[in-house]
Structure 1
């Protein structure tokens, strides 16, 4: 039974929510489950020539962009978590710690040999502690 669904979204790539969100919503409706969104932004490197608060507000900005996307697509009640670091590591960590039953994510455009399976998606599929549903075109 699928009760908790993790939906990784990229705030800069509409394909991630245009493809992944409808499928996650359908899965949640079918099983009476809940969806949680995660987005991962790169770690901000602290360099001596940058101000101490450089990058402040990055997580809030990403969360607000995704909140708007969710609100406009019938998922206003879905919680959003924004982490910094490696995409696949943070997604896998959240999936394990949150005891998710399924990860739903959209495939990416790519060229051979990674056609539609980017390096992050491949690592998530390989090491996920739960089922992974890859939404393709």
Structure 2
């Protein structure tokens, strides 16, 4: 049923993303699917650019790539079936672009419990659910 599963990983709160990763691992084993982990780095605000080292973006990307590699290794998913990518930009834009790029037929992600602010502004998970062209499974923490 599923051949390519995309899992957005928030490295600032890996406990929140663990249920999605566990779910994706189970589905990947069940359907012999591949899993792609994605972490999206926010753009450094222009007003802060002069206060951070010149290679800040490079350091941040390398740190994220290393953290994703550890998560992938510890996921229990066969190494030949899992890959990682770090992208930079808006979270839901990059998740949707990556889903298209890898031909994902399922996105598995976690979401915080709804708060009043997300009813008006929307959350990243909400945007992904609304605009994804593939199935989306939102796992509540």
Partner Cα separation in structure 2 for residue 106 and residue 66 of structure 1: 17
Identify the structure with the greater helix proportion: 2
Partner Cα separation in structure 2 for residue 25 and residue 49 of structure 1: 40
Q: CA deviation at 1:96?
A: 1.2
| Aligned residues: CA RMSD | 2.1
Alignment length (residue pairs): 135
Q: CA deviation at 1:52?
A: 3.4
Deviates more, 1:79-88 or 1:104-113: 104-113
Partner Cα separation in structure 2 for residue 6 and residue 105 of structure 1: 8
Equivalent in the alignment of 1:99: 103
After superposition, give the CA deviation of every residue in 1:44-98 in whole Å (9 maximum; x if it has no partner).
Answer: 2454565532332211101111222222231362211001110000000111122
Structure 1 residue 68 and structure 2 residue 70: aligned?
yes
Partner Cα separation in structure 1 for residue 16 and residue 72 of structure 2: 12
After superposition, give the CA deviation of every residue in 1:20-62 in whole Å (9 maximum; x if it has no partner).
Answer: 1110011111111110000101012454565532332211101
Structure 1 residue 17 and structure 2 residue 21: aligned?
no
Partner Cα separation in structure 2 for residue 112 and residue 30 of structure 1: 37
Structure 2 stretches of 5 or more lacking a match?
A: none
Query: Superposition pairs for residues 19-34 of structure 1, below 5 Å?
Result: 19-34=19-34
Is the contact between residue 9 and residue 17 of structure 1 (CA under 8 Å) also seen in structure 2? yes
Q: CA deviation at 1:110?
A: 4.0
- Give the structure-1-normalised TM-score: 0.86
List, as ranges, runs of 4+ consecutive aligned residues in structure 1 with deviation greater than 6 Å. Answer: none
- Give the structure-2-normalised TM-score: 0.84
Cα distance change of structure 1 residues 49 and 68 upon mapping to structure 2, 3 Å threshold: closer
Partner Cα separation in structure 2 for residue 18 and residue 51 of structure 1: 32
Partner Cα separation in structure 1 for residue 51 and residue 137 of structure 2: 43
Structure 1 residue 82 and structure 2 residue 86: aligned?
yes
Is the contact between residue 70 and residue 76 of structure 1 (CA under 8 Å) also seen in structure 2? no
